[in-house]
Structure 1
Amino acid sequence: MALIHYVECNTVHAANFVVDVPAGAHWLLVVTKTPALFWVHGALKLYPAHSVVLYQPQQKVYYQACAGPFVNDWIRFESDEPYITESPLPPGIPFALSDPDFCQKLLELIVSEHHFSRDCKASSIDYLLRALFNKLWESYFQDNITPQYYKLLKLRTVIQNNPGEYWTVATMADYLAISPGYLQSIYKKTFGISCMEDVINSRIRMAKEYLIHNAQSIAEVAARCGYQNVEHFCRQFKQITGHTPGNFQKQAKLGASL
């Protein structure tokens, strides 16, 4: 289990903000929302927004605002859990966070759990911290994180949360204010799948759910998943699943009844 001493989200500091602790007493995790200067290998170095750094107990901590107010999340805590004490994360060295929005949600939940004395407070915080450190490990071993990556990730999240919208390469390109050709190139390079393939896969995933667990007709499912043409929906569904929507629905219901 972990003992949290203090945790804050979206804390805004003045432009002259400085943290200078020669030897910190506890673990400290800092996530930046704006650029900041960190003391690394004997010198101050500038790191962009969405950087994260983990300080070990007794380690020197020094960072400061630069070029305006500094905004960050941070947790000061104690723990003897191996997923923290034996973490591969480099102590005191910032690295880019791969999914800032996901981590923000986890940190907000940790803040909520920390401030209230609920029955399952300790175990809830432990599970949330484990999920957060899983994401930190993923981030540390990912090497293509750029400002452009964050914009693409937001677009991909919107697509997967709203697959039934009228998505075209042009509308997705407009979302990022870039050309359709450039979007197709960088999207495939970043995620290993084309933007339209992502849309189609998201639609078929949603269609499976509705075919199995709802009483809607195939035409209604097709419309809900963003298809204006039922035949087109059936063709794409079979290409991806190997079954027509009707056969898929029948087999799913047969399996549920056995």
Structure 2
Amino acid sequence: MFGVAATQQRMQFPDLILTQTPAEFWVNGEIKAYPANCAVLYPPHQKIMYRACSDQYVNDWVRFLSDESYVLETALPLGTPIPLPDPGYCHQLFQLLATENFLSCDYRELSIDYLFRIMFNKLLEASQSAVNTLHYQDLLDLRKSINHNPGQEWSVTVMADCVHLSPGYLQSLYKTTFGISCMEDVIQSRIRLAKERLIHGQSRISDISELCGYRNVEHFSRQFRQMVGCTPRAYRKSVTSHS
């Protein structure tokens, strides 16, 4: 089922906003300024706070009800503005939605569903291209921190806090951006540092384990073997024997 909800109905419906002028939005606990022509999808019951950046504010807005999977299971970031590469097209979709909502024809609900499917496809395309403009630098800085400090107590929650994203959204963006999950990147950085220390220097394996962020040597040795194919001790022996 899909339908556009009347404004007097309760806040149990998602909200979709398309800005036509610059605006400030409450995102991740703070007010941030965003340019014109952004889309924001708010789930039911989420706090909605936004205001104009100038004397004029214009937007397209709709509150709707849907049990369609492409809405309920969307990969769109919730509550975060997404820059639209083709705002005119999305504005036309809004106009068509408004027209269909006030018509009393046999295919009204089906037409609304089709229009919303097109809208969500366009928003997904926009969100994927927006990774580079909205979050790429933050993700790049996070990856640099991981590579430079692999021994830090990294977790998905810690990393998500660093870039002010939800843990689930961070994992999706990180994998899309770098082709590897954030925790896999942490593990690879730790093993890379361990190999360097095993090759260069005489540190004890327990000290190397601690340096690389492992709480116990057994876990370190097991993960090292999974990644390299041999234990840290065997790796050091094989490398030094050929030097």
Alignment TM-score, normalising by the size of structure 1: 0.48
Calculate the aligned-residue CA RMSD, in Å.
1.9
Mapping of residues 105-124 of structure 1, within 5 Å: 105-124=92-111
Gaps of 5+ in 2: 135-243
Moved over 4 A (4+): none
Matched, 1:100 2:87: yes
Identical amino acids, percent of aligned pairs: 45
In 2, Cα distance between the equivalents of 1:43 and 1:24?
22
Structure 2 counterpart of 1:57: 44
Alpha-carbon separation, structure 2, partners of 1:145 and 1:133? 20
Task: Give distance in 1, aligned partners of 2:17 and 2:123.
Answer: 12
Partner residue of 1:87 out of 67, 71, 74: 74
Kindly report which structure 2 residues correspond to 1:146-185, keeping only aligned pairs within 5 A, or say none: none
The structure with the largest alpha-carbon Rg is 2
1:26 corresponds to 2:26? no
Deviation at 1:125, TM superposition (A): 0.2
| 1:218-257 C-alpha deviation (Å, 9 max, x unpaired) | xxxxxxxxxxxxxxxxxxxxxxxxxxxxxxxxxxxxxxxx
- 8 Å CA contact retained: 1:31, 1:51: yes
1:24 Cα deviation (Å)? 3.8
Check whether the contact 1:24–1:58 (CA below 8 A) recurs between aligned residues. yes
Residue 145 of structure 1 and its aligned partner are, at CA, apart by 6.7
Counterpart-to-counterpart distance in 2, 1:49 and 1:93? 14
Q: Provide the TM-score with structure 2 as the length reference.
A: 0.51
Q: Are 1:77 and 2:64 an aligned pair?
A: yes
Aligned residues: 131
1:151-190 deviation line (CA, Å, top 9, x unaligned) = xxxxxxxxxxxxxxxxxxxxxxxxxxxxxxxxxxxxxxxx
Q: 1:47 to 1:6 in 2, by over 3 A?
A: farther
Unaligned runs of 5+ in 1: 8-22, 147-258
Residue range with higher mean Cα deviation, 122-131 or 94-103: 94-103
- Quote the residue 2:113 is aligned against: 126
Q: Secondary structure at the match of 2:5?
A: strand
Tell me if structure 2 keeps the 8 A contact 1:24–1:57: yes
CA contact (8 A) 1:36 1:65 kept: yes
CA contact (8 A) 1:24 1:59 kept: no
What CA deviation, in whole Å up to 9, does each residue of 1:194-220 have, x standing for no partner? xxxxxxxxxxxxxxxxxxxxxxxxxxx
